[in-house]
C-alpha cells in the first residue's frame, strides 16, 4: 500500500492521503478569541455598549480576521487598525464561519457606514466610501448593530489596549 501526501498552500491547506480522499484542514481549525483591549460605543457621550476586542494590526491578522472561528460571544469583536486608507477594501468573508455586522469608523472615531448581516463564506460587495475616511473596521456578531443602537454619523468609539 502506497500513501501519497500532498500539501496545497492556499487559504486553506489540503492534505491528500491517497488520490481519492482530501481533508480540508481549515474545517478543523478553531482560533480562540484573545482580548487585546476594550472598546466603548457612545451615542451623544452616553456609553451604549462596552465590548472586549481583539486587535488586527499586522498584515497576517488583517488577512485572517475572524476566519476559522465557529462562534463569537456577543460582547466581543475584532477591531482592524488600518495602516493605509485602501485596506478596508481588502476585507472579505472567505473562510469566515459566522454572520457579521461590519462597522466602518473614520478618523474622528465616528461610525460612517455599517454593513449588516453579512453572510459567511462570501465576498463582500465593494463599498464606495471616501478612502481617506476609514481608520478602523469593527467586526461583531450579526444583529448587534440594531440590538445595541449603533447609528451611522452618531455613534462614536473609544478604546483602550
How does pLDDT run across 26-75, given as a tens digit for each residue?
556 678 899 999 999 999 999 999 999 999 999 889 988 998 888 999 99
Measured CA to CA, the distance from residue 106 to residue 157 in angstroms comes to 10
Q: List the domain boundaries for the chain.
A: 1-29, 31-160
Is the pLDDT reported for residue 19 higher than 70? no
- Asked if 120 and 74 touch (Cβ cutoff 8 Å), the reply is no
- Asked if 43 and 158 touch (Cβ cutoff 8 Å), the reply is no
CATH number of 31-160: 2.60.120.1140
Per DSSP (E only), the strands in the chain are: 7-8, 14-18, 21-24, 37-43, 46-56, 76-81, 100-106, 111-118, 134-141, 155-160
Measured CA to CA, the distance from residue 94 to residue 68 in angstroms comes to 10
Mean pLDDT over 129-144 rounds to 87
Model pLDDT for residues 77-126, shown as the tens digit of each residue: 999 999 887 787 777 777 889 999 999 999 999 999 999 999 887 766 65
pLDDT band with cut points at 50, 70 and 90 for residue 22: very low
Amino acid at each position: 500500500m502506497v500513501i501519497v501526501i500532498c500539501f496545497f498552500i492556499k487559504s486553506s491547506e489540503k492534505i491528500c492521503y491517497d488520490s481519492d480522499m482530501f481533508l480540508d484542514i481549515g474545517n478543523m481549525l478553531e482560533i480562540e478569541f484573545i482580548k487585546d483591549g476594550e472598546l466603548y460605543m457612545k451615542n451623544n457621550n452616553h456609553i451604549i455598549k462596552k465590548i472586549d476586542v481583539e486587535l488586527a494590526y499586522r498584515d497576517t491578522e488583517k488577512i485572517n480576521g475572524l476566519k476559522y472561528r465557529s462562534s463569537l460571544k456577543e460582547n466581543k469583536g475584532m477591531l482592524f487598525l488600518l495602516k493605509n486608507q485602501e485596506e478596508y477594501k481588502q476585507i472579505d468573508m472567505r473562510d469566515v464561519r459566522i454572520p457579521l455586522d461590519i462597522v466602518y469608523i473614520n478618523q474622528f472615531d465616528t461610525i460612517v457606514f455599517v454593513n449588516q448581516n453579512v453572510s459567511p463564506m462570501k465576498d463582500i460587495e465593494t463599498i464606495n466610501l471616501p478612502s481617506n475616511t476609514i481608520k478602523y473596521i469593527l467586526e461583531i456578531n450579526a444583529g448587534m448593530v440594531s440590538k445595541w443602537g449603533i447609528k451611522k454619523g452618531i455613534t462614536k468609539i473609544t478604546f483602550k489596549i
